[in-house]
Structure 1
């Protein structure tokens, strides 16, 4: 027993070498006051929070994550419920549909959305065929396009935790609720939703963190016209070569996401206490 901790030693060393050390280097670089990295200080952080433009980019990135998460919840919960109540035969078909986005490269899926939402894309061609519009709608390079693209890509990360949680619920609880006179809506809100909250929070965590850091989708579907933190970091590091400021941007984004994760964990503990209480 005393040597059982040795079993996790390889994984711990792996994370220290390839996660801890790089993050430490990024944090160290962000504490340089000039691009030449000759002086230490917190000037990069003061520059960021002292500029409303920078704060707006961070806010837009977090809003993007929240909006994408809400869309995946609205779309993912019915899919997860349908999977749980379906027969074994239909479950095989549904699981293929659920996992299909994960089996395709994110770059390929993103370019597919570019083709669909372009001025001569599928949506505009369909609207023209129906006679609804003469000039093409500007669908691409908009926040809505980015949200829809991210929601489709991140949807399996919401559905799978919900499937696991909903599939483990005791089916006798809704039956008992109906027997006591509760409506279907009240049963769903008072019993199913609280019991499904662990899966919902897990999916929210996965989707939110994936959406705010989705550089490829934000860049290709946003077209560089929409500025989010990942592209801002790329611009400062590669184009401007201001590595201290880029490192500060990365640390600010990381700490912002960690703050959201902490809040989710807090609400998760509260939910478990409510359910068990």
Structure 2
């Protein structure tokens, strides 16, 4: 048994060297009161939480993750359900379509959304051709545009865990529910959804963490007019060169995401207990 730990030793050392140590350095940098990093203290944290503008950016970033996750759930569950009920030859086609966004660079996909949502883009051209508007509608550089772009990019991360969970469910359970007189809606809500909750929570975790840290999408689709934590960190570190405050922003964002992950894990344990009970 002690020798089994040697198998995880390379990964453990890699994690400590390239994840643990950098995070520790960022935390230490955040504990400096001045940009010259000569005095230790908690001034950077007091500056952040003492300013409503900073708190608003954090809230907007977390809300972006929540909104993107909700959109991917609404769009992703029907796709996962369609995959489960499809015959094998259609499943191969669907899995290719599901994985296709992951095979394309996020920068390319983001620029595609910039073209689609621009003033002369596909959406505005279609609306004007149908006579719904006489001039372009501002779609780009809006929170809705960022949410839709992120939802499309992160959608496979929601669909794949749901597919894995739904395909492992016993198909006799819905049949038994229908035999006992339950409607299709009640069967789905009372049986399928609780049993699919592990996949739903896994997808939620992946999409949320990816959305709040999606620097490229937030910057290009937001156009610099919408401020989120990743771009705020970049601005403070690269443009302002205020490394202690940038490190503080990074630590606060990391802790906030970890709190959400902890809540999701707690909810997941409660759900498993409910299902097994």
With the shorter chain as reference, the TM-score category is: over 0.9
Deviation at 1:109, TM superposition (A): 0.2
Cα distance, 1:197 vs structure 2? 0.1
Displacement after TM superposition at 1:131 (Å)? 1.6
Deviations 1:73-100 (A, max 9, x none): 0000000000000001110110111001
Aligned mates of 2:148, 2:6 — CA distance in 1: 45
- The DSSP-based 3-state class of the residue aligned with 1:3 is helix
How much does 1:132 deviate?
1.4
Q: Which moved more, 1:147-156 or 1:88-97?
A: 88-97
After superposition, the C-alpha distances for 1:116-169 in whole angstroms (9 at most, x for unaligned) are: 000000101111111211110000000000000000000000000000000000
Distance 1:185 1:126 in 2: 36
Deviation at residue 32 of structure 1 after TM alignment: 0.3
2:215 corresponds to: 215
* TM-score normalised to structure 1 length: 0.99
Deviation, 1:2, is 1.9
Partner of 2:106: 106
Q: What 5-or-longer segments of structure 2 have no aligned partner?
A: none
> Post-superposition shift, 1:63?
0.3
Q: Which residue of 2 aligns with 1:174?
A: 174
SS in 2 for 1:162: helix
The CA RMSD over aligned residues, in Å, is 0.5
Aligned structure 1 segments of 4 or more residues deviating by more than 3 angstroms: none
Are 2:203 and 1:188 equivalent residues in the alignment?
no
Please name the residue that 1:257 is paired with: 257
Return the TM-score normalized by structure 2. 0.99
Unmatched tracts of structure 1, length 5 or more: none
Deviations 1:39-78 (A, max 9, x none): 0001000000000000000000000000000000000000
Equivalent residue number for residue 237 of structure 1: 237
> Could you say what secondary structure the match of 2:271 adopts?
helix
Greater mean deviation of Cα atoms: 213-222 or 180-189: 180-189
| Number of matched pairs | 277
| CA distance in structure 1 between the partners assigned to 2:123 and 2:184 by the alignment | 37
Residue 150 (structure 2) pairs with residue 153 (structure 1): no
Give the drift of 1:245.
0.2
- The answer for the alignment partner of 1:36 in structure 2 is 36
Give CA-to-partner distance per residue, 1:231-255, whole Å, 9 cap, x none: 0000000000000000000000000
